[in-house]
Amino acid sequence: MKTIDQSQINDVAWRACDTFRGVLDPADYKNYILVMVFLKYISDVWSDHRDQYLKEYRGDVLRVNRRLSRERFQLPEGCDFASLYACRTQPDIGERIDMALGEIEEANKEKLEGVFREVSFNSETKLGQTKERNARLKHLLEDFNDERLDLRPSAVGDEDVIGNVYEYLLERFASDAGKKAGEFYTPGQVSTLLARLLAPKKGDTICDPACGSGSLLIKVGRQADKRDFALFGQESNGTTHALCRMNMFLHGMDSFRIEWGDTLRHPRLVEHDQLMKFDIVVANPPFSLEKWGVEEAEADPFHRYHRGLPPKSKGDYAFISHMIEIAREGTGRVGVVVPHGVLFRGGAEGKIRQRLIEENLLEAVIGLPANLFFGTGIPAAILLFNKGKAHGDVLFIDASRAFESAKNQNVLTDTHVDTIVRTYRAFQTVAKYAYRATPQELADNAYNLNIPRYVDTFEEEAEIDLMAVKKEIDGLEQQLATVRAKMDGYLKELGL
């Protein structure tokens, strides 16, 4: 059987968005598209497996159903995509889709309970009055019935295809969503960079306490091993939490626990009244979050802020403090994306930063290019912490000029990522690019981590030969005089 090209599937799925463009904001219609991708995928997989079992058991329906009952998910009768497509012209199609999704949740409570609660295909507020809504849903079902969007394992050939489609759509939605994009997606190459820097091992537990749609968490997990790891996360936005759980499912991640709630105010990854500990902690939390919960933090039952209380208008060090506390003692590693202000702001943040350095937790500071993240053009940095450091030095890397310009934002190429990772692994000074600073140098700089204090990127300008420049100007003036003389002659001939 001919396998379907990944780019074809991506294009068909993206064109299905035309149904909602101009009607809904991308931040809203992404949910309908991604849910439909999910429904199409589980329907195609279920159909594919049923056909295989029918062949294997020579049409014995009882044995086929018994085998299907042991699948990693269950698809109730009449809730599959084909059944809904057959009803696409019915006046209650929106209600039918909602009911089907509800039954799928009920049949898969442990993995899928609540993942569709934020999306209603029968919503008049979102999708318009009955006639308009029905027309849009009919078009959407027809778009997804495209033969090129065949997501059966026997057709796509590669088990990663559906996860890749989901990632592709998330990135496209992020590029269209403006400031809201950073709430649910970290650019793919930044996720790859963090995954390679943290280098998780087989069997590691990995946590993202601000996990968004889960793409970063999945990338880090895949760096360890395709299956032998456990993923944990928490997300405050209910819709994004649902997207994350679907993302995990579509990537074949069965060992995951994604909680819904505010990590700083109400951490949910708790056991026996204690914060769970993880081998790897990674996050791209919201930059300088206001109203992050300083009032509750003063009486934090988990004592996460014993190094100092972050300012109420900037939650960066609140996330950092939380991440360090949940990293496993003696071995845990942390990678976090932060705005540059975290490196040098004074006051409460300066005191926390000093404590972290004095405790020998900070391992590296990596400056990234500007305009790299969706929703903000400011440059960011990656901080790496290590609870098992064997030395006291900190490596500074200035990768701010290492990028490729794209249409809407800058991007890191594979070469840029390779260079950063190789430099970090070597942990040595590289002229104009990296500097290994000693504890004394950090103290001498009053624990200010501003990268230019350590990495000198100043380039000497080439000496100018003034006589050569003067000679060039004289020559140009002579040429100009000749041209003017010719122009005057032409004007006289024309009587002007």
Evaluate whether 358 touches 401 at the Cβ level (below 8 Å): no
Neighbouring C-alpha atoms within 13 Å toward the C-beta of 490: 6
Inter-helix orientation angle 26-56/130-144, to 10°: 50
The better pLDDT of the pair 25, 471 is held by: 471
pLDDT digits (tens, 9 = 90+) for 141-153: 999 998 888 877 7
pLDDT beyond 80 at 2: no
- pLDDT band of residue 181 (cuts 50, 70, 90) is very low
Please list, in sequence order, all residues whose beta carbon lies within 8 angstroms of the beta carbon of residue 193, skipping any fewer than 6 positions away.
382, 412, 417, 420, 421
pLDDT beyond 80 at 154: no
Please list, in sequence order, all residues whose beta carbon lies within 8 angstroms of the beta carbon of residue 116, skipping any fewer than 6 positions away.
35, 98, 101, 102, 104, 105, 242
Neighbouring C-alpha atoms within 13 Å toward the C-beta of 338: 28
- pLDDT band of residue 12 (cuts 50, 70, 90) is confident
Evaluate whether 226 touches 14 at the Cβ level (below 8 Å): no
Cα separation of 95 and 455, whole Å?
60
**Phi, psi for residue 8 in degrees, rounded to 5:** -65, -45
Q: Which residues pair with 207 in a beta bridge?
A: 232, 281
Evaluate whether 184 touches 237 at the Cβ level (below 8 Å): yes
pLDDT beyond 90 at 162: no
Percent of the chain with pLDDT over 70: 94
The better pLDDT of the pair 273, 405 is held by: 273
Query: Pairing relation of β-strands 410-411 and 404-405?
Result: antiparallel
- pLDDT band of residue 155 (cuts 50, 70, 90) is low
Dihedral (CA of 298, 303, 309, 310) sign: negative
Mean pLDDT of 344-351: 96
Cα separation of 246 and 31, whole Å?
11
75-111: b (≥16 Cβ within 10 Å) or e: beeebbbeebbebbeeeebbebbbbbbebbbeebeeb
The structure's pTM equals 0.86
Look at phi and psi of residue 269 and say left if phi exceeds 0, alpha if psi is from -120 to 50, else beta.
Answer: beta
- pLDDT band of residue 159 (cuts 50, 70, 90) is low
pLDDT beyond 50 at 473: yes
pLDDT beyond 80 at 81: yes
Tokens of 376: 């903000």
pLDDT beyond 60 at 1: no
pLDDT beyond 70 at 460: no
pLDDT beyond 60 at 323: yes
pLDDT digits (tens, 9 = 90+) for 371-418: 887 766 788 999 999 999 999 999 999 999 988 877 777 888 999 999
pLDDT digits (tens, 9 = 90+) for 36-61: 989 998 999 999 999 999 999 999 99
CB atoms within 10 A of CB 199: 15
Neighbouring C-alpha atoms within 13 Å toward the C-beta of 137: 31
pLDDT at residue 261 in the model: 95
Measured in whole angstroms, the distance separating CA 225 from the mean position of its chain's CA atoms is: 19
The better pLDDT of the pair 480, 267 is held by: 267
**Phi, psi for residue 383 in degrees, rounded to 5:** -105, 130
Neighbouring C-alpha atoms within 13 Å toward the C-beta of 170: 24
The better pLDDT of the pair 306, 189 is held by: 306
pLDDT beyond 70 at 287: yes
- pLDDT band of residue 94 (cuts 50, 70, 90) is very high
Q: Which residues pair with 278 in a beta bridge?
A: 327
Percent of the chain with pLDDT over 90: 63
